[in-house]
C-alpha cells in the first residue's frame, strides 16, 4: 500500500523515516518556486546549502551564487530568491549555489530519502506524475518559517495529495489536516493567504508580484530532483 504523509516543519523531520520514500520538499514563498523557475529557464544544476559562507565559496568553482535572508537578497551575491530573477537568458546552462532562510535547509535535511523532488504550484502536475511513477510512499516536507508552521506550504501539500489521488492512503492526521485546509482555500488561494505571516512579511518588503506568480498552477513542467550532490532536472521521460 502506498501512503502519503506531511511533515509541517524541518524541525519535525527527526520523527520521520525517509528511507524507502519519495520526499517532495516545498517552499512556495519562494525558494522551491524560484528553483523550478530557474530550471525551466535553462539552469543546469543547483546546489542548495545552509550557510552564506558556504554558498559564496562556490563562486571560485565557477558557480553563480544566490542568497536570501529574511526575504531580502544578501549583499555580495549574484542573485536573490525572486523567481523573476531566474527568468533571464544569462542563467542558461549555469550552475547556481543557493542558500535561503528555510527552503535550502529543508532540502539538505531531506537528502536521506530515496528520491528528493522540488515541488511548487508552478510544477505541481509534473511533480504528481513523477511521484506516481516512483510507486513509493511519499512525504511532503514543508520548509515552514524558522521551524514554525506556515499556510502556503500546507496548501501545496493538500493540493498535491488531491492530485495523487486515492492510490495513496493518508498516513495520519497531518495528511488529513492538509486536505481540510486545502479544501477551505482552493476556491481562492490568494485571498485565503492574505493574512498569512509570510505574505504579510513579503508585502512589507514590497514583494507582491512574486506571491501572485508563485501561487499559479502548472506554469512549468520541469521536475528538479536531488542527484547525489546537486539538484538537476529529471529526464522528460520520467516526468511524462
Provide, rounded to whole angstroms, the least separation between the CB of residue 181 and ligand 3SL: 20
- What lies within 8 Å, CB to CB, of 119 at 6+ separation is 24, 25, 26, 32, 127, 140, 156, 160
Asked if residue 109 binds ligand 3SL (CB under 6 A), the reply is no
Out of 21, 30, 189, 233, the only residue in the binding site for ligand 3SL (CB under 6 A) is 30
Q: Of 62-81, which residues contact ligand 3SL (CB under 6 A)?
A: 68, 71, 81
Contact 144, 102 (CB under 8 A): yes
Q: How far is the CB of 202 from ligand 3SL (least distance, A)?
A: 6
Binding part of the chain for ligand 3SL, among 3-11, 53-61, 94-102, 114-122 by CB under 6 A, reads 94-102
- Using rule CB under 6 A, residue 150 touches ligand 3SL: no
**Which position's Cβ is nearest ligand 3SL?**
100
If the CB atoms of residues 184 and 205 are measured against ligand 3SL, the closer one turns out to be 205
Distance CA 100, CA 97 (A): 10
**Binders in 110-149 for ligand 3SL, by CB under 6 A:** 143
DSSP string, 96-150: EEEE-SSHHHHHHTTTTSSEEEEE-GGGHHHHHHHHHHHTS-EEEEE--BTTB--
Return the H-helix or E-strand segment holding 177. Answer: helix 173-185
Residue 27 binds ligand 3SL, judged by CB under 6 A:
yes
Q: What does 19-54 look like in DSSP terms, one character per residue?
A: TT-EEEEE-TTTHHHHHHHHHHTT--EEEE-S-HHH
Binding flag, residue 97, ligand 3SL (CB under 6 A): no
- Minimum CB distance to ligand 3SL smaller for 101 or for 110: 101
Q: Which of 29-37, 116-124, 134-142, 186-194 is the region at the interface with ligand 3SL (rule: CB under 6 A)?
A: 29-37
- CA dihedral for 76, 81, 86, 92, sign (positive or negative): positive
Of 167 and 194, which CB lies nearer to ligand 3SL in the complex structure? 194
**Which residues, other chains included, contact 211 with Cβ-Cβ below 8 Å and sequence gap of 6+?**
29, 190, 193, 199, 202, 203
Q: Which of 4, 25, 31, 151 is in the footprint of ligand 3SL by CB under 6 A?
A: 31
Chain-centroid distance of CA 24 in Å reads 7
Shortest separation between residue 81's beta carbon and ligand 3SL, angstroms:
4
Residues in contact with ligand 3SL by the rule CB under 6 A: 27, 29-31, 68, 71, 81, 100-103, 143
Amino acid at each position: 500500500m502506498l501512503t502519503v504523509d506531511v511533515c509541517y516543519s524541518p524541525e519535525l523531520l527527526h520523527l520521520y523515516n525517509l528511507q524507502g520514500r519519495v520526499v517532495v520538499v516545498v517552499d512556495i514563498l519562494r525558494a522551491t518556486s524560484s528553483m523550478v523557475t530557474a530550471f525551466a529557464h535553462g539552469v543546469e544544476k543547483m546546489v542548495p546549502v545552509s550557510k552564506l559562507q558556504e554558498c559564496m565559496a562556490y563562486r571560485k568553482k565557477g558557480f553563480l551564487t544566490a542568497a536570501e535572508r529574511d526575504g531580502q537578497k544578501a549583499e555580495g551575491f549574484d542573485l536573490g530568491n525572486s523567481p523573476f530573477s531566474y527568468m533571464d537568458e544569462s542563467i542558461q546552462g549555469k550552475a547556481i549555489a543557493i542558500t535561503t532562510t528555510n527552503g535550502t535547509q529543508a532540502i539538505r535535511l531531506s537528502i536521506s530519502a530515496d528520491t528528493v523532488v522540488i515541488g511548487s504550484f508552478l510544477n505541481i502536475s509534473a511533480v504528481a506524475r513523477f511521484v506516481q511513477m516512483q510507486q513509493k510512499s511519499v512525504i511532503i516536507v514543508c520548509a515552514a518559517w524558522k521551524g514554525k508552521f506556515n499556510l502556503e506550504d500546507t496548501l501545496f501539500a493538500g493540493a498535491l495529495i488531491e492530485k495523487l489521488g486515492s492510490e495513496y492512503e493518508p498516513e495520519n492526521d497531518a495528511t488529513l489536516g492538509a486536505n481540510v485546509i486545502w479544501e477551505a482555500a482552493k476556491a481562492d488561494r490568494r485571498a485565503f493567504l492574505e493574512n498569512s505571516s509570510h505574505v504579510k512579511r513579503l508585502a512589507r518588503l514590497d514583494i507582491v508580484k512574486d506571491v501572485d506568480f508563485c501561487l499559479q498552477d502548472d506554469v512549468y513542467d520541469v521536475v528538479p530532483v536531488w542527484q547525489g550532490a546537486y539538484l538537476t532536472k529529471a529526464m522528460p521521460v520520467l516526468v511524462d
